[in-house]
Structure 1
Amino acid sequence: MGGTSSFAAGSKLIVINKANNQLAYYNNGVLTKIFKVATGRKPSYTPEGKFKVVNKLVNRPYYSGHIPGDDPRNPLGNRWLGLNARQTWGTTYAIHGNNNPGSIGTYASAGCVRMYDQEVEWLFSQVPVNTPVVITASSKPFNSIAASYGFKVKGNFKPPAPQTAAAVLKKGSRGEQVTALQKKLTSLGYSTKGIDGVFGSNTENAVKAFQKKKGLKMDGIVGSTTKKALGLK
């Protein structure tokens, strides 16, 4: 991996470690976020090496299954970051969303890297075409992996503190309280289009619909007033 890859202003880097199924996002050489992902069912399925994002697609159709891009059954989710891996050009291997959130964190794919839909939406909005992507299986921390591929990086990412019992639930929240919220909304007829413990756009829309029905402020945020109306602690 000779040479050093210097970061231009505004440059990005993605590092994926198949050993723990995590994806690290660097902005200007600083470790900014870490996400859970799913990778190949067998070690050989997801290619390893240094690649780059060569195309970005919204609602890519699932061609082999004849499923439109915006269909909830589409296993590719709503965002596709195509990679130039194994002599392909963003058509075969990608970082993409998924309609099976339960698979995230496991070895489940035919070779692609799966993310939660709302998390790949965020990543998609951050990274331009030509963003470098490193994929490996390593026991080393992300900064060491990046350095071994010639990238000068820094930063010690600290995950957000777990929510307290009185926490406000809103878009981006995750955990058991969100699961309970999704179950409650669904039981009341406000579909969250899945119960996965992740507060995304569908859960937000269900909250707003409930708030409208109850004459509450329609902000999609579950604070004490909305929790009380839902009968949640």
Structure 2
Amino acid sequence: MRKILLCMVLVCFMFVGVKPAFAAGSQFIIINKSNNQLAYYENSRLTKVFRVATGRNASYTPEGKFKIVNKIVNRPYYKGKIPGGSPNNPLGNRWLGINARGTWGTTYAIHGNNNASSIGQYVSSGCVRMYNNEVQWLFSKVKVNTPVIITTSGKSFDSLAAANGFNVQKSNGTVPPGASNAVLKKGSRGAEVAELQRILTKLGYSTKGIDGTFGQNTDSAVRKFQKAKKLTADGIVGPATKKALGMK
């Protein structure tokens, strides 16, 4: 009888205060298909925002609450018989598998790619593509069981986080200072945008003022610079354009 009571006490102790596994942990990822951006939160803070590519059909990239269930360095592209680490491998150098649609990280993933120009587009068969250097950074941070939210929404990242049960420090969904890998585009605000405007103006591409707001004039200046440097003239300041500008 004493053994039975002891077991009951132990069981109660184990479950008191236990939260659902999905809410555990200090990091999570939100992917918004409406603008093809991925937000990484750590310790309740929006740490970085990345540009990504998603499914060429709206239904291809699954939506919902998932988890990172495996992490693979240089995964082979089995379908095309391309070895891991090959520059021709469309899966890039890092694979973060998610448990979407009853799979276990072998079908859907956040991964790199060998076609940087596809980032920001709707081109994949369902996976979420990132620049190789950026997925490598993310891979080094996230742990197995990290929650991943995939949605299509006009809401801010902070609002999406709250809607999914995460308590975050308010950032209005914008990129925090120091998130130098974040993409800058029309609508972006802050110190990094002001830096972009100063550099463009110095190079002869007038933004008609340095106010830290990425508006039409800054967009026009960026496109002119990109065209001159033979980059994709889309007005989006990602890694390639930042490198050409000499931004850190």
Q: Percent identity?
A: 58
After superposition, residues 120-199 of structure 1 pair within 5 angstroms as 120-156=135-171, 157-158=174-175, 160-161=192-193, 162-163=195-196, 164=199, 196-197=240-241, 199=243
Deviations 1:143-186 (A, max 9, x none): 1111111111224233733441579xxxxxxx888998899xxx
Question: Out of 20, 37, 42, which is 2:57 matched to?
Answer: 42
- Provide the aligned C-alpha RMSD in A: 2.9
SS in 1 for 2:70: strand
| Aligned partner letter, 2:142 | V
CA shift for structure 1 position 17: 0.3
Number of the residue aligned with 2:44: 29
Determine the C-alpha separation between the residues in 2 that align with 1:74 and 1:179. Answer: 29
CA deviations over 1:1-59 (Å, ceiling 9, x no partner): xx896554xx2110000011000000011111110000000011000000000000000
* Alpha carbons of structure 1 residues 179 and 98: separation in structure 2 relative to 1, 3 Å: farther
2:130 to 93, 115, 137: 115
1:152 maps to a residue whose letter is: N
The aligned counterpart of 1:74 is 89
Q: Which has the larger radius of gyration?
A: 2
Q: Is the 8 A contact 2:22 2:147 kept in 1?
A: no
Kept after mapping to 2: 8 A contact 1:77/1:98: yes
Aligned-partner Cα distance in 2 for 1:109–1:22: 15
Deviation at residue 110 of structure 1 after TM alignment: 0.1
List per-residue Cα deviations over 1:183-210 (Å, max 9, x = no partner): 9xxxxxxxxxxx95465xxx9xxxxxxx
Q: Secondary structure at the match of 1:46?
A: coil
Select the residue among 111, 117, 129 that pairs with 1:102. 117
Gaps of 5+ in 2: 1-19, 176-187, 204-221, 232-238
Runs of 4+ in 1 over 6 A off after TM superposition: 175-183
How far residue 109 of structure 1 moved from its aligned partner, in angstroms, is 0.2
Q: Deviations over 1:56-112 (max 9, x none)?
A: 000000000000111101000000000000000000000000111101001000000
Do the aligned partners of 1:83 and 1:93 also contact (CA within 8 Å) in 2? yes
Counterpart residue number, 1:18: 33
C-alpha contact (below 8 Å) 2:67/2:99 kept by paired residues: yes
Which stretch shows the higher mean deviation, 118-127 or 148-157? Answer: 148-157
Partner of 1:219: none
2: CA distance between counterparts of 1:154 and 1:4? Answer: 21
Does the 8 Å CA contact 1:80/1:94 hold for their aligned counterparts? yes
Gap change, CA 1:97 and 1:4, over 3 Å in 2: closer
